[in-house]
Amino acid sequence: MRLLGIVLLACLSLILVNSASVGAQSSQPVKPKCGERPAFLTQPWFKLGVVCLQEAFNDPSLGELAFTALANAPDGTLYAARPTAGEIVALTDANSDGVFDSIKVVAEGLTLPNGLDYADGALYISGGSHVYRLRDGKLDTLVDDLPSGGGFWTGGIAVAADGRIDVATGASCDFCASDDPMRGAILSFAPDGSDRQIVATGLRQPADLAFQNKDLWVVDSARQGLFDTPDLDELDKVAPGANFGFPYCVGLHNTPDMSGFDCSNATAPSIVFPTASTPIGIAAYRGDSYPALEGKLLVVLGGDYNNLDLRGYQVVIVDPSAGMVTSLMPTPPDKNPNSALTNEEMNDLGLGFFPHRPLDVAVTEQGWIYISEGGGRILVLRP
């Protein structure tokens, strides 16, 4: 009889444990399906496994260049550059629902801030003739004499693992040879802004930089007037002493109207994009959300308002090891009857970014993908 009581007591204990476990599981929040999430979107079209597209922020009153460069901090804060306002803002998503709850100006009075990178607890900013560092609310100017003005904006900024700061400067005009070797170049500085070095030259509009492991990558675009010559925009792997050929060469070749110049020493691009697709943003993918993207680069092709054909207006996935480029957005969803549409047709039909332009891309620690878009909008791709 005593043995029966022990058995019954054990069974009752097991039932109570199981009931508590079920209760604990049911009390855990259930992630809502994509269509039930706030500000979920079906356009621009995209295809990336099981993924949800949301409008993380939207304020058209802020203007077409409301947010250009993006950078993520490990705590989930997204920093965005507002070049024409001379500001950097921090956006936060307190409940992780994909929609930003607050936006706060964290730096102001800057000169055309248009490059961002977050490293070692600080936000690094490039703009005009300056390199700034924002740490714990304090803004320091590390460099104040970058070559700028009269041509393209100061491009991207990237901090290496050893703390050196790489900055891209724009050429002094759309098509000219400059006497200043620091124009259309990548410059490197010590962490305190000293020890300036020229790493690479021969660039026109090096709009953004990114490290993938130890490799530094830069995007660049061809000058105006070459629309009918294919594949002159490029992604370049940076090596010390590289010269990418601007203004006379594209890779190892002369531009069509510049025959006779020696291009044998020019550095060939790693990847080419359609002429006038205008690559302006780049980020290395990391995180666990989309394992298929590990080791790949995300490149923003901003397009060109000067041409009727809608080249660019797209975010692409680049596999540098295989030399492959595939579209991330816009691209027809799986099993879509209109899967034969081209990128230009999708944008024409309002299924892409046009009439706005994608401007930059950033990846969070967990692998969410943020995209800034003209007109004051930020999108997020997330599980």
| Spatial CA neighbour of 82 closest among 58, 103, 62, 57 | 62
Which residues contact residue 42 at a Cβ distance below 8 angstroms, ignoring those fewer than 6 apart?
53
DSSP-assigned beta bridge partners for residue 168: 186
pLDDT at residue 77 greater than cutoff 70? yes
pLDDT at residue 356 greater than cutoff 50? yes
CATH topology of domain 31-382: Neuraminidase (2.120.10)
pLDDT tens digits, 246-294: 988 876 666 665 666 778 788 999 999 999 999 999 999 988 899 899 9
Read off the pTM: 0.89
Predicted pLDDT of residue 298: 98
Q: Which H or E run contains 3?
A: helix 2-27
User: Cα–Cα distance between 341 and 339 in angstroms, integer?
Assistant: 6
User: Cα–Cα distance between 350 and 125 in angstroms, integer?
Assistant: 34
For residue 86, name the pLDDT band (cuts at 50, 70, 90). very high
User: Cα–Cα distance between 375 and 63 in angstroms, integer?
Assistant: 5
Looking at per-residue pLDDT, the higher value among 238 and 50 belongs to 238
- Residue spans per domain, the chain: 31-382
Phi, psi of 151 (to 5 degrees): -160, -125
DSSP-assigned beta bridge partners for residue 218: 209, 236
From the CB of residue 81, how many other CB atoms can be counted at a distance below 10 Å?
29
pLDDT tens digits, 191-227: 999 999 999 999 999 999 999 989 999 999 998 888 8
- The residue with tokens 């660019």 is 312
- Joined tokens for residue 43: 């356009």
Predicted pLDDT of residue 262: 79
pLDDT at residue 3 greater than cutoff 60? no
pLDDT at residue 18 greater than cutoff 70? no
In this prediction, what percent of the chain has a pLDDT beyond 70? 87
User: Cα–Cα distance between 202 and 218 in angstroms, integer?
Assistant: 12
Find out whether 276 and 311 touch, Cβ atoms under 8 Å: yes
Predicted pLDDT of residue 251: 64
Predicted pLDDT of residue 49: 67
The alpha carbon of 111 is separated from its chain's Cα centroid by a whole number of angstroms, namely: 21
